[in-house]
């Protein structure tokens, strides 16, 4: 962990030497990390998508062979084996946690007690935003991947958009709770990461739609 912390500290300082702003340096470090984690994130998304397809197959199999228990058990076993294989991709999220924790720890222990041009109304990156603009902004960004589901070309392919109101409200509340007392340096990290997630989600849905178009 110390090696990762040292690496992040060095990258953060290099970013500051170029931009002369710690807030922008945090954004650059966050984007760099997210790019490095893209292969793992993509694999995770594909695994989740695969799990959804298998769940549909299982439900269809239960209906198709409801009167033939032997055949039903045989077909379900095949789907469960396929499901167990695809689940390994979901574990890539666990591999990301130590790296993300190290990044969070690095930002939290920033030596500089200065502000940033990105949030001029806060005098120090170590202070929370007393106007609550950062928490509100992060809460909106956190639900943006759900909001794009209502855009025609970005709807989840092959599935209907369900009522996401309760989920989005829950996410917004949690996002505000996480950042309302946190230093703005952490808020900048969460916002930058959230924006990256949004563009990553858009790219993945377009790629998913392209694959299904090619198959058709």
Mean pLDDT of the chain: 83
Residues 145, 200: Cα–Cα separation, whole Å:
9
Average pLDDT over residues 30-39: 90
Average pLDDT over residues 21-38: 92
Average pLDDT over residues 16-27: 93
What share of the chain in percent tops pLDDT 90?
35
Phi, psi angle pair for 98, to nearest 5° = -60, -35
What share of the chain in percent tops pLDDT 70?
87
What lies within 8 Å, CB to CB, of 49 at 6+ separation is: 208
Residues 197, 193: Cα–Cα separation, whole Å:
6
Candidate ranges 35-39, 43-47, 72-76, 80-84; pick with highest mean pLDDT: 35-39
Distances from the Cα of 62 to the Cα of 3, 38, 76, 87, 216, angstroms: 51, 36, 8, 21, 26
DSSP codes, 144-161: HHHHGGGSGGGSPTTSPP
- 193, pLDDT greater than 90: yes
pLDDT of residue 148: 85
pLDDT of residue 59: 84
- 95, pLDDT greater than 70: no
Distance of CA 178 to the CA centre of its chain: 15
Candidate ranges 56-70, 87-101, 109-123, 169-183; pick with highest mean pLDDT: 169-183
Give the residue extent of every domain in the chain: 115-216
- 201, pLDDT greater than 80: yes
Residue 58, token pair as written in the block: 């299982």
3-state secondary structure of 30: helix
Q: What is the pLDDT of residues 100-122, one digit of tens each?
A: 778 778 877 776 678 899 999 99
pLDDT of residue 88: 55
Average pLDDT over residues 42-51: 79
Residues 16, 28: Cα–Cα separation, whole Å:
10
């Amino acid at each position: 962990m110390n090696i990762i912390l040292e690496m992040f500290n060095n990258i953060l300082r290099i970013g500051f030497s170029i931009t002369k702003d710690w807030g922008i340096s945090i954004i650059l470090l966050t984007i760099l990390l997210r790019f490095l984690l893209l292969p793992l994130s993509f694999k995770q998304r594909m695994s989740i998508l695969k799990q959804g397809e298998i769940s549909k197959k299982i439900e269809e199999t239960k209906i198709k062979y409801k009167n033939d228990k032997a055949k039903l058990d045989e077909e379900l076993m095949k789907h469960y084996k396929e499901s167990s294989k695809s689940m390994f991709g979901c574990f890539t999220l666990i591999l990301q946690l130590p790296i993300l924790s190290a990044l969070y720890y690095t930002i939290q222990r920033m030596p500089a007690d200065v502000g940033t041009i990105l949030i001029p109304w806060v005098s120090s990156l170590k202070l929370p935003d007393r106007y609550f603009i950062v928490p509100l902004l992060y809460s909106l960004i956190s639900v943006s991947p759900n909001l794009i589901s209502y855009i025609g070309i970005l709807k989840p392919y092959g599935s209907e958009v369900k009522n996401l109101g309760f989920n989005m409200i829950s996410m917004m509340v949690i996002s505000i709770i996480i950042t309302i007392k946190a230093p703005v340096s952490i808020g900048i990290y969460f916002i930058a990461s959230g924006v990256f997630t949004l563009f990553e989600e858009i790219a993945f849905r377009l790629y998913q739609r392209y694959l299904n178009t090619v198959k058709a």
